[in-house]
Amino acid sequence: MPTELLPPAPPAAPSPAPNALTPFPPTPAPAAAPTELLPPTAEPEEGAAPPRSGIVAGIGALFRRHPRAWLAGGIAAAFALLGTGSLLGGAAYGAATAAEPTVVSDALTVDPRTAPGELLDPAALPTCSITPLTAGAGLGTLRGTVIDATTGATIWSREGATGSRPNHLVRLATGIAALSVLGGDARISTTVNDGSLPGSIVLTARGDATLSAMPPGTDSVYSGAPKLADLAQQTIAAYNAAHPGVPIETLVLDTSYWSADPRPQGWPSNTLDSGQASLITPLQVDGDRGDPTRLSSPRGDDPIGDAASDFVAALRAADPGGVVGADVAITSGSALGSAPVLGTVQSRPVSTLVDQMLDLGDNTLAEMLGRLVAIQSGFDGSSASVGKALVSALAVAGVPTTGMTLVDASGLSSDDVMPTDAIAGLLAVIRTGEAPRDQVRDALGVAGQSGSLADRGAGTVLSGNLHGAASSLNNGSSIAGYLTAADGTELVVAFAAHDAVDDSTAGSLDALVAGVATCGSNLAQV
């Protein structure tokens, strides 16, 4: 706000004579000598400098007559002023700063100076370093990201935006996508329809890898899975009612739900033999395991043919009257839209399948869910479309996807790429617990207790504290999750080690995460 205008100032008092202060007392002129007259001043020429005043000219003349005396007096005055100059200067400065703003005219005022804002408290400089731990044994090429879960700020990063191998952490992404796109209550149906030709039935598969050939009352690795025996009993009863006395001689298989590329690129060559996963086909029984009660059991090379044989055996077991022919032909085709349904069974809800996938670490189940996400998202369900569908679904769910490239849904492929920034972002989204993410959150492993973290961090600050997942595959090892640091800070961590990894890598990664938990908000970048 402009200052108030001041009244006009009174006339100024006469200025003291210019020579009121002199270097020394003036020398009296001789009494008899007449006063020296200065020559008359000529009119200045146009453009010339103005003439000096009489006083200035007189001083100059006096200096010329007494140069030594003026020099001595000037030196003495200089010493005198040195003793008083600072005091006079200070007084003059104080007077100037204390004075009111000068009003130049009635039209101009000076705004008051803006008062400084409130000073902020000084910020603490983080001093807790995990740099020595990054040189741990077996860490090879290390990348990592640490996020403050409350603010979302990244507080530590090493090449966090550079592509890393997520390995089986991809299954977390598949869980989020499946629950978001399919819905937790969705179920996968396997149906038998009446065939268009006499004596034929059509088995239509839609990707339920949990469909089981186990006897009633027993479970495979998939607890509560639908049974072929139940489907066969429904089929025989309905078929006999519709076609009494006509034997079943042809089983038509409809396995066209997605295109035939059952092995994603980048999978290890021993995937089937080691029991890590089956070929990804819409129709298979018990995940095509040689032993349905073992998670890692060798898989075959014809899951569709094996499932068809199992279903024919189930039909015969459910046929007391011998309606199933001695030699049932198996062929490919599809049911007419109006064909009567003879029997159907359904999987457990998708929410349960996601839980089983994460708890068991089941790659086949992950791949099946990935195909269904792709189909529901408008893709053809091929292996090539799975990664695109998953990344798209993650982006919609709020997961950062920059730099992310997926080619399968299980993380078995060495071609999967997910920077640790994205992995940490995925865990941060899961941590919020908002439906349907809460189902993935609740299925995470806990250090020293469950899941892929069951044997990690026991007896350390991580035990019972770190919630997440870990994986070792493709000459790489990764760990990610969220935890509460020693100072109460909620953090999300993601680390991935590549190349030159060995049996010591897991322990070094655990020590690194424990270091983060110890530092908390005092974690320094260096």
- The alpha carbon dihedral of 292, 478, 423, 514 has a sign of positive
Q: Which segments of 318-381 does DSSP mark as H helices, in order?
A: 350-360, 363-376
Per-residue pLDDT at 406: 96
Per-residue pLDDT at 99: 46
pLDDT at 50 over 80: no
Residue 329, class by beta-carbon neighbours within 10 Å (0-12 exposed, 13-18 middle, 19+ buried)? exposed
CA distances from 69 to 21, 23, 31, 36, 78 (A): 16, 10, 21, 20, 14
pLDDT digits (tens, 9 = 90+) for 160-176: 999 999 999 999 999 99
What is the average pLDDT score of the chain? 83
pLDDT digits (tens, 9 = 90+) for 381-428: 998 899 999 999 999 988 999 999 999 999 999 999 999 999 999 999
Helix 303-317 and helix 228-242, axial crossing angle in degrees, nearest 10: 60
pLDDT at 23 over 80: no
Which residue, 512, 406, 404, is CA-closest to 161? 404
Query: Please, which residues bridge with residue 477 across strands?
Result: 472, 497
| Strand pairing report for 248-254 and 141-148 | unpaired
Distance CA 40, CA 38 (A): 6
**Could you tell me what percent of the chain has a pLDDT over 90?**
70
Per-residue pLDDT at 111: 54
Give the DSSP H or E segment for 306.
Answer: helix 303-317
Count Cβ atoms below 10 Å from residue 334 Cβ, excluding itself.
15
pLDDT digits (tens, 9 = 90+) for 312-345: 999 999 998 889 988 999 999 999 889 999 999 9
pLDDT at 188 over 60: yes
pLDDT digits (tens, 9 = 90+) for 228-251: 999 999 999 999 999 999 999 999
Per-residue pLDDT at 433: 83
| Higher-confidence position of 125 and 77 | 125
Which residue, 497, 502, 499, is CA-closest to 512? 497
Distance CA 75, CA 86 (A): 18
Could you give the maximum distance between any two Cα atoms of the chain, in Å?
Answer: 167
Q: Are 172 and 220 in contact (CB under 8 A)?
A: no
pLDDT at 19 over 90: no
Per-residue pLDDT at 392: 96
DSSP 299: B
Per-residue pLDDT at 474: 87
For residue 398 the two structure tokens come to 């709020």
Which residue, 277, 335, 288, 331, is CA-closest to 310? 288
Per-residue pLDDT at 337: 87
CA distances from 139 to 134, 248, 320 (A): 7, 61, 63
Query: Please, which residues bridge with residue 467 across strands?
Result: 446, 482
pLDDT digits (tens, 9 = 90+) for 89-123: 333 333 334 445 444 444 445 455 555 566 666 66
pLDDT digits (tens, 9 = 90+) for 268-312: 999 999 999 999 999 999 999 999 999 999 999 999 999 999 999
Q: Are 229 and 314 in contact (CB under 8 A)?
A: yes
pLDDT at 78 over 80: no
Distance CA 251, CA 254 (A): 10
pLDDT at 67 over 50: no
Distance CA 457, CA 454 (A): 8
Place of tokens 């961090």: 457
Per-residue pLDDT at 33: 42
Per-residue pLDDT at 434: 82
Q: What is the mean pLDDT of residues 502-508?
A: 95
For residue 424 the two structure tokens come to 């940490």
pLDDT digits (tens, 9 = 90+) for 194-228: 999 999 999 999 999 999 999 989 999 999 999 99
Q: Residue 285 is which amino acid?
A: V
**Could you tell me what percent of the chain has a pLDDT over 70?**
76
| Higher-confidence position of 155 and 1 | 155
